[in-house]
Structure 1
């Protein structure tokens, strides 16, 4: 695994006082098409009980993955869904979505989940919104003989030594995005074929990874770090001396100018101003 660059998640707060860890880049888009990875991980309800009251989005895709606990999602399109452990939810917000995400009352053993933002190409930013989740279609899971367990969350995945394509039920993310949850046992390893992608990042949410850095020295990356890696036909990913969990984020860079303000990501300041006006004038609709 050749590491090109490394980032560390920083503490942040969003919604109604929800404590998160965030890796984001809205300026240089060094992990394009991805813009932001937020992780919520706490057994203390005070860290997330306020949830995310109604708020808008335009010009991005939000991808939510829950590992423990859950949220109730509501939006102006009429979707009302309980997103629980193991579930994925994808919204291609396009011209506009108003939604809320509030902790489930019966999810009282803590919360661990992610919300990932992907940029949308300019040609799609004003199309109608698309909503999809996996509450009725479990994500496919495959294992190898070296202590690796891969859950396909979006797009297609493949172990380098196997012809089997692991296809997630959610397809069509912006920038040909593909997302997977890879669990490795202590000193476990996986060989993945990532050659179909132009950009691949690895976010470590548990444990540690071992790799050789650009100077040829052995190195480790730990929980809360994001690595941008070289997409290769045979990418070797190896855990350290503890069980390790990572999110794999792959895709093709969109390579377009970005103007970002809060929940809106567009291509010019004029488009941002229009998004603000449209929301203030009620053109996004309301949650019923």
Structure 2
């Protein structure tokens, strides 16, 4: 595993007082085509019960993955869906989306999930919005001889020499996301490891959400770190406690952006237009929903 650079997640707050940890780069675009990763993780309802009331987006794609608990998604296109553990949800917001994400009332065991932002190329930023989720799709996880579990969430992957397809296809910039769970060492076995072929990807990244990874000379990379990796044949090795890793791959968009809140466009004028369109009601209207709490 050749680590080119490492970023560190930071505490933040979003929505109606939701506590998160965030890795974001809207300036140097080191994560291109990805822009941001938010991790929500708590067994304390006060950290997330406020959820994310109705808000707009333009010019990005949002990809949500739930590991524990769940959210109810609503948008102005008429989509209403409960996203639960193992589910993913994708919105290509294009010219405009209004949506809300509220914690499910029947989620009793806390919440752990991620929302990922991808940049859209300028040529696609004003196309009609698209929505898809995996709630009706079979969840498939793949295990290797070390007990590593690979869960392809989006795009195409090569895991242990086999092609594996994610739950959702068609993300911007050939984006791909996967969850890799590496087993802890035992008295009889070493910690888990896994091989992935990423030779033709312009961007490869890994966010550690559990345990730790070992790099060259047994350098430890800990929970909360986002690693920018060299593309190629990738060998991921867990420390003794095991590791949980969210993997990212894609092709950099390579365009200058302007970011303001929920909008990511290419010029200041486009940002002003997005604000004007939203304030004028041109994004549509979200049907009122009853808060989950």
**TM-score, scaled to structure 2:** 0.95
Other-structure match for 1:169: 167
Work out whether residues 139 and 153 of structure 1, in 8 Å CA contact, stay in contact via their aligned partners in 2.
no
Q: Which 5+ residue runs of structure 1 have no aligned equivalent? A: none
- The Cα shift of 1:138 comes to 2.7
Work out whether residues 5 and 229 of structure 1, in 8 Å CA contact, stay in contact via their aligned partners in 2.
yes
Work out whether residues 87 and 138 of structure 1, in 8 Å CA contact, stay in contact via their aligned partners in 2.
no
- The Cα shift of 1:77 comes to 0.1
| Residue pairs, 1:1-288, within 5 angstroms | 1-160=1-160, 162=161, 164-186=162-184, 187-212=191-216, 217-232=217-232, 234-288=233-287
Distance 2:130 2:278 in 1: 18
- The Cα shift of 1:254 comes to 0.3
- The Cα shift of 1:259 comes to 0.1
User: Which secondary structure does the structure 2 equivalent of 1:165 belong to?
Assistant: strand
Q: Which 5+ residue runs of structure 2 have no aligned equivalent? A: 185-190, 288-293
**TM-score, scaled to structure 1:** 0.96
Distance 1:52 1:207 in 2: 29
- The Cα shift of 1:148 comes to 1.0
Distance 2:106 2:167 in 1: 27
Divergent runs of 4+, >3 A: none
Matched length: 281
Deviation readout 1:96-147 (Å, 9 max, x if unpaired): 0000000000002100000000000000000000100000003321111022
- The Cα shift of 1:275 comes to 0.1
Distance 1:126 1:231 in 2: 31
